[in-house]
């Protein structure tokens, strides 16, 4: 019985994956027209699903997939014409299959009535226009050629006496031969946790070895100790990377659902929109896969609903009637960047500012002084929505603040750039890995803190007198760039140890980049760089207090990790 449960659990996972894989194909088919390979892929998914469901006695799944399979077979063999109606009904089947599978997954025993869909599928197949010579001469001809080939093959004497060519292993076959193993996520997470602990122990050991070396230098045992710790150091880094890789998955897993979403939504609001996806094979952590979907849905929904104009409006503006949304992912250093571009009307910043004032989010005065970058950031504030009445699409009163919250949960940043009538670009930057990061260890007052290295551009030493006051904002001129300056001890509200600031002492400055913002902060001392494991502290909101979490350092101390983004925003 247990074996059966496991098989069913496997079936659920595999069936969902298989549906995920075919879904983007429909939209491509609709835009590009007949494509035998794509049609065959969809056919095969339905076929396989039906087969496995038959064994497991999921009759509803068999009924739906059987009919969808029949339609796909006829489409593939070019016996009926590919039409929007047929794609619609197949997509409906995909949705129903998902629903049926979800009931199996949660074991709620709910029965869905699929009889209407079955009727719809039957009548769709019955009324589908047969492909005649007129409509698809090219394809029909291709089909005949295929048949000829088959005939030729059959006509050959059956076991071919000598294979004319030795079996050539395809270059890809070695990849395919790599055996796969399905592993439960909690097991991987356990390994990840343990790897994190090893990193901490390694850090402590390195520290200890260095101290021993200082006191007992020349002792031959110390030399072997240093050698061993150096080896451990390397292996630990490799281990970390290897474990990280287990959790990485191509972001296509998330991107895959958008063509369908854009198709359905743009249809619903009477717009014509294409989506272009690139960089789907960029690998990101599993946590990112799980959490980036919602923010992307929000942004894309907004583009469809508010950003891209109706075909009429676009025609008046001399833009192509078809709007375009581009989704792009790439790795940049240790960051993963996801960009969402639309060629719509852009965000009207004056409207945004007025709205923010009327909602009491900012004062009128602030709104007048506000830079464009600051103004566009207003859309990420909780309780902000540019349309007076939220439509069904972007609805529910939640908006871009959800995007920001979700992205910051992943230690990432979201920025927006908008140009009137040219469109809006959202850029989400995420760290490559979430659990282990490089950090700069600093001292502020009596305490040591960690600052994620990804936020720091460089560290420099300047005289206190170099910090200038311009209209109430302290600034620092760094090689011709004037950057806002913040004293970290003041931001955190702790007493600085760096003597009295009136004397012209050297100050340690970190130049930080958070999203597109550059600024500098002063700390009392730079302690060094360390690889740290982020341990989340339950009960605190990183958004409010500017603490990302805590870590245990090489010398065994608990150190808080600062989130500069939050500190500077407040």
With binding defined as CB under 8 A, does residue 3 bind another protein?
Answer: yes
Angle 400-409/286-302 helices, nearest 10 degrees? 160
Name which position in 15, 68, 265, 561 contacts another protein (CB under 8 A).
15
With binding defined as CB under 8 A, does residue 286 bind another protein?
Answer: no
**Where does this chain touch another protein (CB under 8 A) — which range of 5-13, 204-212, 382-390, 545-553?**
5-13
Cβ distance to another protein smaller for residue 126 or 155: 155
Cβ distance to another protein smaller for residue 52 or 561: 52
DSSP state of 35: -
Cβ distance to another protein smaller for residue 72 or 564: 72
Would you call 536 helix, strand, or coil by DSSP?
coil
Cβ distance to another protein smaller for residue 104 or 400: 104
DSSP state of 534: -
Q: Tell me the pairing of strands 558-562 and 447-452.
A: parallel
Q: What are phi and psi of 35, to 5 degrees?
A: -145, 110
Element (H, E) at 125: helix 115-127
From residue 84 to residue 103, what is the string marking binding to another protein with x (rule CB under 8 A)?
--------------------
CA distance 345 to 341: 12
Cβ distance to another protein smaller for residue 25 or 200: 25
Residue 202 CB, nearest approach to another protein (Å) = 37
- Binding to another protein (CB under 8 A): which residues in 539-568? none
Would you call 287 helix, strand, or coil by DSSP?
helix
CA distance 339 to 299: 10
Report DSSP letters for 429-456, one per residue. EEES-SSEEEEEEEEETTEEEEEEGGGE
Name which position in 2, 176, 365, 469 contacts another protein (CB under 8 A).
176
CA distance 532 to 441: 10
CA distance 556 to 105: 44
**Where does this chain touch another protein (CB under 8 A) — which range of 138-146, 177-185, 268-276, 474-482?**
177-185
**Where does this chain touch another protein (CB under 8 A) — which range of 173-181, 194-202, 265-273, 547-555?**
173-181
From residue 366 to residue 385, what is the string marking binding to another protein with x (rule CB under 8 A)?
--------------------
Would you call 512 helix, strand, or coil by DSSP?
strand
With binding defined as CB under 8 A, does residue 409 bind another protein?
Answer: no
Name which position in 32, 182, 332, 369 contacts another protein (CB under 8 A).
182
Residue 120 CB, nearest approach to another protein (Å) = 20
Token digits of residue 545: 């207090």
- Binding to another protein (CB under 8 A): which residues in 64-83? 69-70, 73
Cβ distance to another protein smaller for residue 20 or 401: 20
- Binding to another protein (CB under 8 A): which residues in 125-164? 154, 158-160, 163
Residue 184 CB, nearest approach to another protein (Å) = 15
Cβ distance to another protein smaller for residue 153 or 234: 153
Residue 23 CB, nearest approach to another protein (Å) = 17
Cβ distance to another protein smaller for residue 14 or 447: 14
CB atoms within 10 A of CB 442: 25
Token digits of residue 297: 């849905």
With binding defined as CB under 8 A, does residue 7 bind another protein?
Answer: yes
Name which position in 1, 133, 152, 177 contacts another protein (CB under 8 A).
177
CA 383-416-376 angle, 5° bins: 50
In total, the chain counts a number of residues equal to 570
Cβ distance to another protein smaller for residue 37 or 108: 37
Long-range contacts for 241-247 (Cβ within 8 Å, ≥24 apart)? 243/188, 243/191, 243/192, 243/195, 244/192, 244/285, 244/432, 244/433, 244/436, 246/183, 246/188, 246/191, 247/188, 247/192, 247/285, 247/286, 247/287
Size of the site for another protein (CB under 8 A): 34
Name which position in 5, 10, 223, 372 contacts another protein (CB under 8 A).
10
Name which position in 109, 138, 167, 270 contacts another protein (CB under 8 A).
167
CA distances from 569 to 346, 377, 523, 544 (A): 24, 11, 18, 10
Cβ distance to another protein smaller for residue 43 or 449: 43
Name which position in 111, 152, 171, 173 contacts another protein (CB under 8 A).
173
From residue 26 to residue 55, what is the string marking binding to another protein with x (rule CB under 8 A)?
---------------x--x--xx-xxx-xx
Would you call 486 helix, strand, or coil by DSSP?
strand
Cβ distance to another protein smaller for residue 169 or 218: 169
With binding defined as CB under 8 A, does residue 183 bind another protein?
Answer: no
Give the CA dihedral 74, 77, 83, 87, nearest 10 degrees: 60
Would you call 414 helix, strand, or coil by DSSP?
strand
Cβ distance to another protein smaller for residue 48 or 287: 48
| H helix runs in 156-271, sequence order | 173-176, 185-215, 220-247, 252-255, 258-268
Query: CB-based contacts of 308: which residues, under 8 Å, 6+ apart?
Result: 266, 271, 273, 314, 323, 325, 342, 343, 344, 345
Q: Which residues bind another protein (CB under 8 A)?
A: 3, 7, 10-11, 14-15, 18, 41, 44, 47-48, 50-52, 54-57, 69-70, 73, 154, 158-160, 163, 167, 169-170, 173, 176-177, 180, 182
């Amino acid at each position: 019985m247990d074996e059966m449960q496991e098989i069913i659990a496997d079936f659920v996972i595999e069936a969902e994956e298989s549906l995920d894989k075919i879904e983007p194909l429909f939209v491509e088919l609709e835009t590009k027209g007949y494509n035998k390979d794509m049609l065959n892929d969809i056919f095969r998914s339905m076929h396989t699903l039906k087969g496995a469901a038959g064994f497991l006695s999921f009759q509803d799944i068999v009924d739906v997939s059987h009919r969808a399979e029949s339609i796909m077979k006829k489409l593939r063999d070019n016996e009926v014409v590919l039409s929007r109606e047929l794609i619609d009904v197949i997509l409906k089947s995909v949705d129903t299959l998902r629903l049926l599978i979800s009931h199996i997954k949660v074991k709620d025993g709910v029965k869905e009535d699929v009889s209407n869909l079955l009727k719809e599928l039957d009548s769709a197949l019955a009324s589908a226009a047969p492909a005649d010579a007129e409509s698809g001469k090219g394809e029909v001809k291709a089909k005949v050629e295929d048949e000829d080939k088959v005939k030729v093959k059959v006509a050959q004497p059956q076991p071919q006496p000598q294979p004319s060519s030795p079996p050539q292993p395809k270059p890809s076959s070695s990849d395919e031969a790599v055996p796969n193993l399905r592993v439960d996520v909690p097991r991987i997470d356990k390994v990840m946790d343990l790897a994190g602990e090893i990193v901490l122990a390694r850090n402590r050991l390195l520290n200890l070895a260095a101290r021993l070396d200082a006191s007992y230098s020349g002792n031959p045992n110390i030399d072997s100790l240093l050698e061993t710790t150096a080896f451990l150091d390397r292996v630990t880094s490799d281990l970390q990377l290897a474990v990280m890789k287990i959790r990485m998955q191509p972001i296509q897993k998330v991107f895959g659902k958008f063509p369908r979403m854009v198709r359905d939504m743009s249809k619903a609001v009477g717009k014509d929109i294409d989506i272009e996806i690139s960089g789907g094979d960029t690998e990101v952590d599993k946590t990112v896969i799980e959490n980036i979907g919602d923010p992307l849905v929000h942004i894309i929904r907004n583009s469809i609903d508010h950003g891209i104009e109706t075909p009429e409006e676009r025609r008046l503006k001399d833009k192509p009637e078809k709007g375009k949304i581009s989704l792009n992912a790439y790795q940049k250093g240790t960051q993963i960047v996801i960009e969402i571009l639309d060629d719509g009307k852009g965000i009207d910043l004056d409207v945004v500012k007025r709205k923010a004032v009327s909602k009491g989010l900012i004062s009128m005065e602030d709104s007048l002084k506000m830079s464009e970058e600051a103004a566009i950031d207003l859309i990420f504030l909780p309780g902000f929505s540019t349309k007076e009445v939220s439509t069904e699409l972007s609805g529910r009163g939640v908006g871009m603040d959800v995007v920001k919250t979700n992205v910051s949960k992943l230690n990432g940043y979201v920025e927006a750039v908008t140009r009137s009538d040219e469109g809006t670009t959202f850029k989400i930057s995420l760290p490559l890995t979430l659990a282990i990061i490089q950090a700069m260890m600093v001292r502020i007052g009596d305490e040591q803190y960690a600052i994620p290295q990804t936020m720091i551009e460089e560290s420099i030493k300047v005289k206190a007198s170099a910090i200038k006051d311009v209209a109430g904002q302290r600034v620092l001129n760094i090689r011709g760039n004037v950057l806002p300056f913040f004293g970290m001890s003041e931001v955190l509200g702790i007493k600085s140890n760096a003597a009295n600031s009136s004397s012209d002492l050297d100050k340690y400055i970190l130049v930080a980049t958070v999203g597109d913002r550059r600024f500098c902060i002063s700390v009392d001392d730079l302690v060094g760089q360390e690889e740290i494991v982020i341990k989340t502290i339950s009960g605190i909101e990183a958004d409010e207090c500017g603490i990302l979490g805590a870590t245990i350092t090489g010398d065994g101390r608990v150190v808080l990790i600062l989130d500069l983004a939050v500190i500077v925003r407040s």
